[in-house]
Amino acid sequence: MRLGSTADFEQESLPVDDVPDWFAAVSSQDPEQAPQFARAGCDRYAEHTGGGRPWELQDWLYRFDPDEDSRGWEWWDAAPVGPSRVHLWVDSWGESFFGCQDLLWAAYVAGAVRVDGPAVQKSAVWSAERNASH
């Protein structure tokens, strides 16, 4: 999130100092150096997307360029809703269909076993869920 608001997206490459080592490894030319959960997530991502290739780190980071039109979502929230379940909330600017391959990549390589959706919800659903958890 910090990268999106501070990076100079006119540069040829973006800084990776704040990117976790495991994420950089799985998003590199040498993913064997990544931990098992990230490598397994890479496989689940390919399965979910029908053979989608792994995201190269710089390509993925450039999706956070505020002027990038191909990213169809903006980060909103993440909320645990059970011992092994998390809802990721993003703003799709009211669009019922939006590109989210980059978001799926992050979820799977971070350890998601299964990703459902995206499903469009009103902000009131998010608000009710947040109020119920506090």
pLDDT tens digit string along 19-67?
999 999 999 988 899 999 999 999 999 999 999 899 999 999 999 888 8
Q: What DSSP designation does 32 have?
A: G
Structure tokens that stand for 119 in this block:
């499903």
- 109 touches 23 (CB < 8 A): yes
Amino acid in the structure at residue 23: F
Model confidence, pTM: 0.87
